[in-house]
């Protein structure tokens, strides 16, 4: 709508991506702040609360009545704010919104099944969930490959030019990036606000990278690839605003959890941002907390299967520190600090080429 006003009424200010990104941020923030209390009251009336895994540390049992599926609210706020501010002729922005919709639907199905059966492990079957994720990621990857003016080159940090043209094999990498990041954020979402701030940090980094990549002068100065992806900054800014509003209710002690409808969607969206900004490898640093959490699970499962011994007291790793009697707030804030520092390091690499 804002871009239409720019074209129709010749309001030049509304043609700037930065202005519309700012508007999208505050719209999503306000939508989330206003709608989340309404959702929380509805969830409490209908007993739409978070079933706690029996294997989780004992202190988690006190969270059994906390409403879940808050991701539907902030993802919905993101989509509405984005639709009000983006330029609809930009396929990259439409792909971003499509990614949000597809993975929010998967997460909603999983959350709803858990709530209906009142069992943490009673959501979608693992194979079904993975198949839906791969199918949705393949749709997004095929959209980029077939319908958007987008190349299949692979870039590495610190290297000025592309190292290889992946061709059709880019689809494999893109699907892997989206699905793995989606599940990584999902694994991280185990403590109050733990996944929220690292997600905001990662989205901020990608917003900066995408703005540079979408700007011919800036991308040329920093020796980065150039694509018409600047409009995606608006969608990313909207999600940052929505997550900021969600954090108001999700910080310890949480009044609501994001559920799979939030965590799976955030992760998939981060994967999409990494792909279009040619930062698939840099995603490892930008999403360091998500990588650490995922590796802790892989190490734990692998060690137990091969050696019948555990590496950690419990995985993902945030549960390990809980078992060591760290205060929940201490774990959360320290993970936030690591996430922010790793994102600052990732941004520094942009100049070192």
* Residue 12 forms part of a structural domain: no
Residue 79 pLDDT grade (very low, low, confident, very high; cuts 50, 70, 90): very high
* Residue 183 forms part of a structural domain: yes
* Mean of per-residue pLDDT scores for the chain: 89
* Residue 188 forms part of a structural domain: yes
Beta bridge partners of 164: 154
Residue 58 pLDDT grade (very low, low, confident, very high; cuts 50, 70, 90): low
Is the confidence at residue 9, as pLDDT, over 80? no
Rounded CA-CA distance 37/19 in Å is 28
Domains in the chain: how many in total? 1
* Helix and strand numbers, DSSP H then E, in the chain: 14, 2
Q: What is the DSSP track for 30-49? A: HHHHHHHHHHHHHHHHTT-B
- C-alpha torsion angle, residues 93, 95, 96, 102 (rounded to 10): 150
pLDDT given for residue 337 in this prediction: 97
Contact 266/199 with Cβ under 8 angstroms?
Answer: yes
Contacts of 267 by beta carbon, 8 Å cutoff, 6+ apart = 103, 181, 182, 183, 184, 185, 186, 290
* Residue 9 forms part of a structural domain: no
7-11, 27-31, 212-216, 297-301: which range is least confident on average?
7-11
Predicted structure pTM score? 0.93
Rounded CA-CA distance 217/167 in Å is 27
Residue 210's domain comprises: 20-348
Percent of the chain with pLDDT over 90: 63
User: For residue 179, what are its two tokens?
Assistant: 């699905």
pLDDT given for residue 111 in this prediction: 85
Contact 25/90 with Cβ under 8 angstroms?
Answer: no
User: For residue 350, what are its two tokens?
Assistant: 């942009």
Residue 121 pLDDT grade (very low, low, confident, very high; cuts 50, 70, 90): low
Calculate the alpha carbon distances from 58 to 54, 62, 348 in Å: 9, 8, 41
Residue with tokens 């094999």: 169
Mean predicted confidence (pLDDT) in 289-293: 96
Contact 101/139 with Cβ under 8 angstroms?
Answer: no
Is the confidence at residue 163, as pLDDT, over 70? yes
- C-alpha torsion angle, residues 146, 148, 153, 155 (rounded to 10): -140
Residue with tokens 């549960």: 319
């Amino acid at each position: 709508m804002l871009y239409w006003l720019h074209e129709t009424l010749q309001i030049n200010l509304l043609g700037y991506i930065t202005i519309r990104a700012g508007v999208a941020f505050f719209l999503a923030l306000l939508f989330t702040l206003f709608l989340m209390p309404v959702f929380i009251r509805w969830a409490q009336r209908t007993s739409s609360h978070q079933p706690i895994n029996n294997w989780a540390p004992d202190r988690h049992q006190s969270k059994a009545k906390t409403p879940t599926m808050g991701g539907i609210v902030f993802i919905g706020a993101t989509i509405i704010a984005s639709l009000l501010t983006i330029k609809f002729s930009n396929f990259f922005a439409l792909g971003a919104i499509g990614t949000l919709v597809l993975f929010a639907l998967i997460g909603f199905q999983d959350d709803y099944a858990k709530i209906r059966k009142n069992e943490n492990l009673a959501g979608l079957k693992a194979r079904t969930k993975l198949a839906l994720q791969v199918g949705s990621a393949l749709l997004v990857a095929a959209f980029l490959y077939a319908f958007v003016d987008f190349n299949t080159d692979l870039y590495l940090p610190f290297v000025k030019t592309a190292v290889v043209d992946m061709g059709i094999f880019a689809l494999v990498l893109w699907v892997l990036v989206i699905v793995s990041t989606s599940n990584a954020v999902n694994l991280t979402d185990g403590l109050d606000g733990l996944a929220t701030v690292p997600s905001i940090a990662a989205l901020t980094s990608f917003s900066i990278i995408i703005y540079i990549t979408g700007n011919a002068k800036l991308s040329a100065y920093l020796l980065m690839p150039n694509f018409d992806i600047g409009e995606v900054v608006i969608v990313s800014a909207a999600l940052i605003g929505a997550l900021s509003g969600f954090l108001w209710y999700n910080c310890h002690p949480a009044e609501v959890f994001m559920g799979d409808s939030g965590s799976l969607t955030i992760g998939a969206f981060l994967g999409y941002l990494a792909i279009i900004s040619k930062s698939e490898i840099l995603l490892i640093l930008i999403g360091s907390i998500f990588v650490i959490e995922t590796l802790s699970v892989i190490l734990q499962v692998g060690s137990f299967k091969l050696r019948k011994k555990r590496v950690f007291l419990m995985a993902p790793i945030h549960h390990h520190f809980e078992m060591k009697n760290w205060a929940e707030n201490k774990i959360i804030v320290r993970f936030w600090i690591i996430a922010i520092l790793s994102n600052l390091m990732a941004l520094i690499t942009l100049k070192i080429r």
